[in-house]
Amino acid sequence: MLENYYVKPESVDRIRASWLGEPIEKYVEWLNGRQYSTKSITNRVPILMQFGTFAQSKGCKTWSDLPSVEKSFVDYWVKEHGKNCKTARALGNVAKDARCPVQQLLGQIIPGYTGSGRNRQSCIPFIDRAPGFFPYLYEERGIRKITINRYSYFLRLLDTYLCRIGLHELSDITPLTLSTFITECSKNRHKSAMAALCSNLRIFLCYVHREHLTSRDLSLSIESPQFYRLADIPRFITWDEVQRMLDTVDRRTPVGRRDYAILLLLVTYGLRAREVALLTLDDIDWKGVRLRIPERKAGHSTAYPLSSMVGEAILDYIRNGRPKTTERYVFYRMLPPFAQLNWNTISGRASHYLHKAGIQVALAGSHTLRHTCVQRLVDAGL
C-alpha cells in the first residue's frame, strides 16, 4: 500500500524500517479504505515517523509505552511548527495536525485506547452514584439512545451544579436544592426545554428513590412549567419560499446533490431529521415506486409513493455524489472519513439553506420543513 503513495523505493524502505513501520503501513491502509486524499495520507506519515523517533528518545521500547508520550509530542510539535502562529486558533490547528494521526494510530494498535482527551466514562452523569440509571432507561423503559443522550445532557447540568455547590451525595439533595437549580436553568432556556428538564429530573429522582439511594421521593417536589403544544403557531414557510430555498442549492456539486435530496425528502413527506438520517438504500423500492420509512417514532413504520422529483434527486446523488462505501445508509459526509449523517447534521443543513435564502423563521431547521409539508396538506383540504 505504501508504494501507491511514494514513488521512491527508499522512502518506502525507510518507513518500513522504522520500529513503527508495521502499524504505520496498516494505518495507511485504514486511511485508504476511508478514501482519505493522497495529500492527507502523505502529510500524516512523516508526522508519525517523527512521533516514533520522539517516543524512542523518551525511552519508549514497546507500543504500549506510546500513550505516555502523546501529549509531550504534541507540545513539542506545536513548539517546532507553531512559531509563526499569531492566534490561539492557529496554534490549535497545528496541535490538531499532530494529535489526530497519533491518536488514530494508537487507537489501532493499543486495545482500549481512547485518546488523551476527556474521559468518555466521566462524561456520563452520576455514573459513580447511580450506574444503573442509563441501562434502566434503555432496557426497562425502552427509550431510544438518541433520547437517552438528552437525559445525559440535562443530568450533566445537575451534576455540574451539585459539584459547584459542594453536594456530592444524592442523599444530600433537598427540594430547595432542586428549586434553585431549576430557577437557575430557566434564565436562559426556552419553556419547552424546561419542561423536558423537569420531566427528565422526575424520572431520575424516581429511579434513585426506587434503588434506595435517597430516603424520600424528591420527584414529587418538581413541578413542570405549563407548556401547551398548540399555544404557538407552528413554524412553516410558504411554497414560494420553499422554491426559493431549493434554488439556493448548488446541484453541480456532490454536497449540493446530497442536500437537495435531503431537503426534498423533508418538505415532500414531512419526515423527521432522524428518519432521513436512518434511510437506507433498501428502503427505496425503485420497481414498486415506494419509499419505506421503518424507523418512525414509537417504533412505527410506513410507506409512501416515491415522488418522481424525489426519486430523481436521490438517484442523481447516488450516481454522482454518494461516496463509495459498503454501508447501506443513503446520506454520508462528503469528506473522509465517510460517516453516516446524523440527525443534527440533517437539521443543520435545512437551517443553512433557510438562512441562505434569507427566509426569516423562528428556530430554523428540519421541523420547519416538516410543518410546511403539513400546512400544504391542510391547505389542500387533507
The residue extents of the domains of the chain are 2-109, 133-221, 239-379
CATH for 239-379, options being 1.10.600.10, 1.10.443.10, 1.10.760.10, 3.40.50.300: 1.10.443.10
Predicted pLDDT at 250: 95
Going by C-alpha positions, the residue among 294, 290, 318, 292 that lies closest to residue 306 is 290
The DSSP result for 170-187, as a single string, is: GGG--HHHHHHHHHHHGG
pLDDT of residue 34: 80
Q: What is the pLDDT of residue 89?
A: 87
The reported pLDDT for the residue numbered 121 is 45
Residue 119: the pLDDT is 45
> Residue 234 has what pLDDT?
65
What is the predicted pLDDT for the residue at 7?
85
Using the Cα atoms of residue 263, residue 266, residue 269 and residue 270 in order, give the sign of their dihedral. negative
Mean pLDDT taken over the chain? 89
Q: What is the pLDDT of residues 205-239, one digit of tens each?
A: 999 999 999 999 999 999 877 766 656 666 789 99
pLDDT value, residue 335: 84
Which of the residues in the chain have pLDDT under 70? 112, 114-123, 227-234, 297-299
Degrees to nearest 5, angle at CA 138 with 133 and 140: 80
Tell me which residue has cell 490538531.
Answer: 96
With a threshold of 0.75, does the pTM exceed it?
A: no
With a pLDDT cut of 70, the percent of the chain lying above it is 94
* CATH code, 133-221: 1.10.150
pLDDT at 50: 95
